[in-house]
Amino acid sequence: MIEGTVHVVATGGTISSHFDGTEWIGLTGAELVGELAELPVAVRVTDVASGPSSNLSVDDMAMIVAHVQAAIDQGALGVVVLHGTDTLELTAFVADLLFGSRTSVPVVFTGSMRVHSHNEPDGPLNIVQSIALAASPDARDRGVLVCLNGEIHSARRITKIDATTVNAFTSAPFSAVGKFVQELPRFVSPSQRSAVHTTALEPAVVLLTAYPGMAPELFDLAVAGARGIVLEVFGDLNVPVALWGPIHRASQAGVLVVLASRPYTATFDDDGLALMGAIGAGGLSPQKARLATMAALGSTSDRESAVSFLRLLRDVPSSDSR
């Protein structure tokens, strides 16, 4: 038996959904953990939310992170968060932003793609492996992790790409940072704690997706009253010509404009972006770029400092992370 206690923070999601033959019910975290075979470490469970993770706001995500912090303050060996997979990658990233380099305690997010009452549920094994990972000394000082389907991913990189299979997540173009081998976690590439220091999340940041033929007036409407905007564009941050002017005007008015793209691109700054007054998301997905921009604006006092904050989150593949 490993010395110490792993705290489990349960937040609902598919992993807790059960059809009892008459109606759908939500199982508590204690019920989910209580049905598992003997675990290698003592476990304490707290339920803090229920229902689909698609209902969560950023404030809700920060609340979940606060419960994780409370568990760490109570001396947890590690913390596991049971979470719906729709927004798991986003809450995990919020946790990574808020913790930064301030804790070495393993924090592991997990969930399931199949409901608890499925004849072959994936949730129980995901919980068992996540608890083992949270109790592992090898998981310390690696930032917030996500453990699903036998793989271990960095919260900053993981993305849900399939809503229909247990093999639903990827860190592409990076590889998973680890996997389970004979019931034990094995790390195969580096995963570091975030280098940023987040003190607050600025709510006045919007996310807008550009599309072919988009009227520039829509950008102007979206940016009204915002301190920051993340615009999802094309390819390697290619922007329709019609939006160049609105982006420049927003930047001149003091709005932090961040360009992100559905495909991965590590571009952060170049001459074209500088002319528009924008910066790139540096490899973050549009959704995560919005959260990072909220953290940057909430934790700094001026645009230059916010840009420097975001630069620290730029994620460029190296030869050992592919």
Per-domain boundaries in the chain: 2-187, 205-311
Q: How confident is the model at residue 315 (pLDDT cuts 50, 70, 90)?
A: confident
Choose which CATH entry (3.40.50.1170, 3.30.499.10, 3.30.360.10, 3.40.50.1100) describes domain 2-187: 3.40.50.1170
Is the confidence at residue 29, as pLDDT, over 80? yes
Is the confidence at residue 131, as pLDDT, over 60? yes
The β-bridge relationship of strands 107-110 and 78-82 is: parallel
CATH 3.40.50.40 fits 205-311, yes or no: yes
Residue 299 is encoded by which pair of tokens? 């934790």
Residue 320: predicted pLDDT: 45
Ranges assigned E (strand) in 27-183: 41-47, 78-82, 107-110, 145-148, 151-154, 159-160, 169-170, 178-181
Residue 247: predicted pLDDT: 98
130, 8 in Cβ contact below 8 A?
Answer: no
Residue 288: predicted pLDDT: 98
Is the confidence at residue 319, as pLDDT, over 80? no
Same fold, 2-187 and 205-311: yes
